[in-house]
Amino acid sequence: MNIHNLKEEIKDNDELINLILENVGFTDISDEFNQGNEFRCAWEEGGNPTSVRVNKSTLSANCFSRGIKGDIITLVQEKLNISFPKTLDRISKIINYEDTNVEISLPFGGFFNEILSVVDDDNGDIQTYDESILNEYLILPSERFLNDGICYDIQERYKIGYDVCTGRIIVPWRNLSGELVGIMGRLNKEKIEEYENKWFPVISFTKSKTLFGFSENYNAIQHASFAMIGESEKFPMSLSSKGIDLGLGLGGSSLSQFQANNIKSLFPKRILVCMDEGLDEDISKEIAKQLKIDTFFENEVGYIYDAENKYLPKGSKMSPSDLPLEEMKKLITECTKKV
């Protein structure tokens, strides 16, 4: 699902915002606050009628009495106590929003190597697969990833596993609403021969149509109003292993318009671009510029560039998230440039 398009459908639409709040059980709903720019309501019948706030233009939301900070999606998820995908489905049904993703069941799991086509259009539609596909793999943490700083519980969260057929560590990728769209495989060996690909799609998909870690870290990014953007799928996992659930992986060194739109749809007050060592500074700077918002909502965007290779050794291709936490903090403090 394209979260950006879903939120665009709801933004500044008093009728839809009211419909969502009413449908999931909020009471005493009124939009006569902050010069008509926000809704206020009570969490439940008999509660404080101003404790819940929803901004009409950004859909940012708070519930002061419960310490909830995020957006209308976060609010609905907390109210109903359901998963992120089910929250998106519930909101879509309430407002009759149609998403065109199609789910299929892929036979033979890791032994089915045919490259499947995906829907590739401006809406970001991408083929989805049933979760049962993962039953064909050994879902267990990787010792190699552990040595790279990705702890076992984070590997379990992302369902890291092993594909016996290809001899690769598998990393499931999901669309923005958390549905399975593909699997990347990393050769489970240290020395990679020239004829070998370290990373290869076990189930092919279009990375530019999604963001690794989006559904997993959505609420944390909303709460902190801060997003960190990196290249690979290991970037968000490494950050989470340090207790920082703010990472999003692009799947490469470029930013698609789809990815940019959906990152900005989070309305984070701060965004930090954290590309790997060796990438030209102009690329990081351009990505940061694409994430700048300066209309009715202004955000602060910066990018990391270790020009003197003080923290990221020259030629290492290290990600900022590969550093120990304290060194990463120093890198961010000393090597961040604002756009």
298: DSSP letter:
B
Q: pLDDT over 70 for what percent of the chain?
A: 92
Q: Is pLDDT larger for residue 106 or for residue 239?
A: 239
Confidence of residue 124 (pLDDT cuts 50, 70, 90): low
pLDDT at 118 over 90: no
Helix pair 214-224, 234-241: axis angle to 10 deg: 50
271: DSSP letter:
E
Q: Which among 229, 227, 242 has a CA at the least distance from the CA of 70?
A: 227
Give 283-329 pLDDT, tens digit per residue: 999 999 999 987 778 899 999 999 999 999 999 999 999 999 999 99
pLDDT at 104 over 80: no
- Structure tokens, 201: 């799609």
pLDDT attached to residue 75: 95
pLDDT at 101 over 90: no
Quick check: 177 and 3 in contact, CB under 8 A?
yes
Q: For the ranges 35-39, 111-115, 139-143, which has the lowest average pLDDT?
A: 111-115
- The structure's pTM equals 0.83
Say which amino acid occupies 78.
Answer: E
Rounded to whole angstroms, the Cα distance separating 275 from 298 reads: 23
Give 31-53 pLDDT, tens digit per residue: 877 778 899 999 999 999 999 99
Find the helix or strand (DSSP H, E) in which 217 lies.
helix 214-224
Give 248-292 pLDDT, tens digit per residue: 999 999 999 999 999 999 999 999 999 999 999 999 999 999 999
How far from the centroid of its chain's Cα atoms is residue 61's Cα?
19
Cα-based angle 138, 172, 203 (whole degrees, multiple of 5): 90
pLDDT at 10 over 70: yes
pLDDT at 122 over 70: no
Tell me the average pLDDT across 166-193.
94
- Structure tokens, 267: 């309305």
Q: Which among 154, 164, 165, 166 has a CA at the least distance from the CA of 212?
A: 154
For residues 64-85, one letter each, b for 16 or more C-beta atoms within 10 angstroms of the residue's C-beta and e for the rest, the string is: eeeebbbbbbbbbbbbeeeebb
Rounded to whole angstroms, the Cα distance separating 59 from 53 reads: 9
For the range 155-159, what are the long-range contacts, defined as Cβ-Cβ under 8 Å and sequence gap of 24 or more?
155/237, 157/216, 157/240, 158/216, 158/237, 159/134
Quick check: 188 and 202 in contact, CB under 8 A?
no
At 287 the three-state DSSP class reads helix
